[in-house]
Structure 1
Amino acid sequence: MASVHPRKNRDGQVTSYQVKWRDAGRREGEPLWATEKFDGDDEGKAAADVFKQAVDEAGQRWPAGWVKGQGYIVVEEAGAGDESRYRFRAYATAIVETKTGIEEHYRRSCMRELEMYLFPTFGECDVRSTEHFSSATVRAWVRCLENTYVAKGRGPRNRKMSPKTIRNLHGLLSSILTEAVEEEPPLRARNPCERTALPRKDDGGSTPEDEDIEFLTPAEVAAIRDRLTLRQDQLMVEVKYGTGARYSELTALAPYLLVDDDPARMRLHVHRAWKKNGAGGYYLGMPKSRRGRRTIRISASVVEALEELRRDEDLADDDLYFTGDQGQRLHASTFADRWARAVRRAKKDGALPVYKHPTPHDLRHSHAAALISAGHSLTYVQRRLGHESIKTTSDLYGHLLPEADDAAMATIETALAGGRATLRAVASA
């Protein structure tokens, strides 16, 4: 088996990573051991890990198409023209940079992920090559990602990459290779990503903080809210839990969006959200999807929270309800830090189970859970949350439907009692 060895200088700093293995493909008189060197940064470590996997996949031989010290090299045929555009780095960059119908921050995010996790492995590969891009090489890359440690926020790199992140990176690779398949004429016969078995978040070995959703009970929401020290933060929890709005939508709310033509049926327009502009800044634009532009009923507690904010801050109609110290957009990380401190206090006081690791976004999930658990339909929850598709709502919250559990338990109990399950009566029109 190949192995990865960090090479350090006198100060103990890693200067490079070396992959070493017994070369099964060596000829008589050649050295027994083969080695390849990679940079000493995080990208170099990731590239070394993937190369090790490729060596193991190749039976302790140099991977096909790899040239020592240079990586995967494309041999150009005479008269073939400019072959460099088929190298993955150039091809993927061109695909992302010319893609239409996406926001600039998403384009930048794709390029960042390519640089960090795809180019170190596939950068010099030929998108046409069935050796460079095969089921085996894609599997080896995914296997490496499963063993890659990343940081949460500004913390240390001590968490394995989540299955969701791996799926997103694999999807990015797959989308680029799909473009190669659909070129005219096609550059490839098929997309090898289609045959990759991807990790699931429930495959075992995951920790609670790796889960995507944490449902909170009303008492747990109150416990966290009461341990926030700023009144604005407490009211934000009230409004977010009471509306299920996304953070970007919540922090874009202003008094003029409150519809009070019927005091008994107060409503709130959720018609805008903070969006990244692709240059490190933000602007007020449309919500996440077409259905995200919605008007929802709000309860008396939410109305009281919004009225308190307006009264105490003397807000004009177009002023934001939730802002930073200087009236600017309230950064998500700023509120998240204060939220995390409140969560730690709630756990210390025994008001929140230690195994729960909620984020502010979990208030949105908990809002949906409260509605569904009380018997409200998925369609109603979909429209209230602004999901583009009912499938999204069903995938996230369908398991919470109480009537489904009730019917299932009745069926199982009848079967265990040795009888036949009775058919449910259907009311005639």
Structure 2
Amino acid sequence: MASIRERVRADGGITYTVLWREDGKQPSESFDDPVQAEAFKLLVEANGGRAPAGWIRGHGFVDPSTAAVVADAPITFRDWARRVINSRTGVESRTRSDYLRDAERWLFPTFGEANVRVNDTIDTEAVRLWLVRMESATYVKGKNPDGTPRIKTVSPKTVRNVHGLLSSILQAAVDHDPQIRTRNPCVGITLPRVDDEIEDEATFLTPDEVALFISCFNRRTDQLASTIAYGTGVRYGELTALQPQDRVKLGHRPAVRIQRAWKRRDDGTYYMGAPKSKRSRRTLTVTSTVDDALDELSDMAAGRQGDPIGKRRRLLLVDTAGNRLHYSSFGDRWDRALQQALREGLDKEPTPHDLRHSHAAALISAGTPLPAIQRRLGHESIQTTVDTYGHLLPDIDDVMLAAVEATLTGIGTPQLRLFAA
């Protein structure tokens, strides 16, 4: 495999150097254009990890026709997909890892060995047949209350997301210079609807059900964490990154600043960075109950100051060793609380993330406008809020029609005012 290394020159420009292993040495070739560097990298890999025939270092091909012959070498979808995903800019390492995981799980078994250069090996019919199989595919996610594996069917949303990944990979081959294939078979294909799937994916708890669930935790810190999660709607990575200094005031009201979150590197380790998006960096007013929970956790954090880790991070939520509260550790205790809640009459099986959904549902039931909910949850786009929670909005057709009718008939509301141009 070849790689591309970027180096900033003294004049501010960037040099793109292609590196590869050949006969125990590491040859290289430099370019000023990233597209040319990527094209040469493709040629090296298509030629078995060797410089393409006819290439003179620093000069290019001595015979231009040689490049055309080498450029016709097969490129497997597996290799091309990894190359496209790994070279994407503007995405976090966790997102890139998720793309690679989805490609390994859902795309490579069908398309992995297909030659991307040949349109007929991945055509519209092949994509449609793959979609049919995807719509009935299953996977294991967690365990049932009796300990058996929980088998789930791939949701329409996941099918659409993976189809989008497939389409972007093939479109990159169409847009590549030189062009690798001439068409993208994913364009124009009808995808499964997602209108009715949200209720199946998200579990919404009523305030009484939240209170019941919280009471089923044995640890006080877990009760406090769940109280804050439900009371603010923050994500788990944001919740577990909170520190005492994040407690602030907005006027006379208590509030909490969301300014950092835990992120996962490609190697599985975690680091603290900025929240998920620009809008995720926000300040949220909180109720007195949530403020009391934050106060209690702050007191616990102050008591850990003698611990080196506590001094360095002063996180509100930590494990028994004073480190980041790992999701799996909290999840194990969540599952035990769930079993207790089920014994006490709860007829739902929520996940920790469902506290965020339940927070949004409580705001909607109180008549909170969706743009305000978008800001509170830190959604980058209002469309995300609408797609996730729009089905919870009350039916207001009668109200709207009554308002229109009153305007037209003049009964109940003032007549429309006409303004001069």
TM-score of the aligned structures, taking structure 2 as reference length: 0.72
Distance 1:421 1:183, change over 3 A: farther
Aligned twin of 2:155: 162
Residues 300-359 of structure 1 deviation map (CA, whole Å, 9 limit, x = unaligned): 111100111222452558511111111111111222222222223222222x2x2x3311
Aligned twin of 1:145: 134
Deviation at 1:86, TM superposition (A): 2.8
Q: Does 1:310 align with 2:302?
A: no
Distance in 1 between residues matched to 2:246 and 2:124, nearest whole Å: 52
Distance 1:79 1:322, change over 3 A: closer
Which stretch of structure 1 is more off in the superposition, 386-395 or 289-298? 386-395
Q: Contact 1:105–1:279 at 8 Å: present in 2 too?
A: no
Aligned twin of 2:331: 336
Q: Contact 1:135–1:195 at 8 Å: present in 2 too?
A: no
Choose the corresponding residue for 1:245, options 227, 234, 259: 234
Within-5 A mapping of 1:14-413: 80-84=69-73, 86-153=75-142, 156=149, 158-201=151-194, 211-260=200-249, 264-313=252-301, 314-315=303-304, 318-350=313-345, 352=346, 354=347, 356-402=348-394, 405-406=395-396, 408-410=397-399
Deviation at 1:103, TM superposition (A): 1.7
Which stretch of structure 1 is more off in the superposition, 81-90 or 362-371? 81-90
Residues 354-397 of structure 1 deviation map (CA, whole Å, 9 limit, x = unaligned): 2x331111111111111122122212111111111122112222
Amino acid at match of 1:400: L
Amino acid at match of 1:280: G
Amino acid at match of 1:373: S
Name the SS of the counterpart of 2:341 in structure 1. helix
Q: Contact 2:370–2:382 at 8 Å: present in 1 too?
A: yes
Identical counterparts, % of pairs:
45
Q: Contact 1:294–1:386 at 8 Å: present in 2 too?
A: yes
How many residue pairs end up in the alignment?
339
Amino acid at match of 1:362: D
Amino acid at match of 1:246: R
Distance 1:423 1:124, change over 3 A: farther
Distance in 2 between residues matched to 1:426 and 1:395, nearest whole Å: 36
Distance 1:181 1:88, change over 3 A: same
Q: Contact 1:266–1:299 at 8 Å: present in 2 too?
A: yes
Q: Structure 2 unaligned segments of length 5 or more: list them.
A: 1-65, 306-310
Name the SS of the counterpart of 1:380 in structure 2. helix
Distance 1:396 1:114, change over 3 A: closer
Aligned twin of 2:54: none
Which stretch of structure 1 is more off in the superposition, 329-338 or 172-181? 329-338
Distance in 2 between residues matched to 1:426 and 1:359, nearest whole Å: 51
Q: Contact 1:244–1:385 at 8 Å: present in 2 too?
A: yes
Name the SS of the counterpart of 2:256 in structure 1. strand
Q: Contact 2:74–2:117 at 8 Å: present in 1 too?
A: no
Aligned twin of 1:13: none
Residues 30-72 of structure 1 deviation map (CA, whole Å, 9 limit, x = unaligned): xxxxxxxxxxxxxxxxxxxxxxxxxxxxxxxxxxxxxxxxxxx
Distance 1:364 1:98, change over 3 A: same
Distance 1:217 1:91, change over 3 A: same
Deviation at 1:223, TM superposition (A): 0.7
Amino acid at match of 2:357: H
Distance in 2 between residues matched to 1:426 and 1:309, nearest whole Å: 57
Distance in 1 between residues matched to 2:95 and 2:133, nearest whole Å: 25
Distance 1:422 1:116, change over 3 A: farther
Deviation at 1:425, TM superposition (A): 5.8
Q: Contact 1:414–1:420 at 8 Å: present in 2 too?
A: no
Distance in 2 between residues matched to 1:177 and 1:225, nearest whole Å: 47
Which stretch of structure 1 is more off in the superposition, 141-150 or 384-393? 141-150
Residues 72-121 of structure 1 deviation map (CA, whole Å, 9 limit, x = unaligned): xxxxx996314445321221121112222222222222223222322222
Name the SS of the counterpart of 1:296 in structure 2. strand
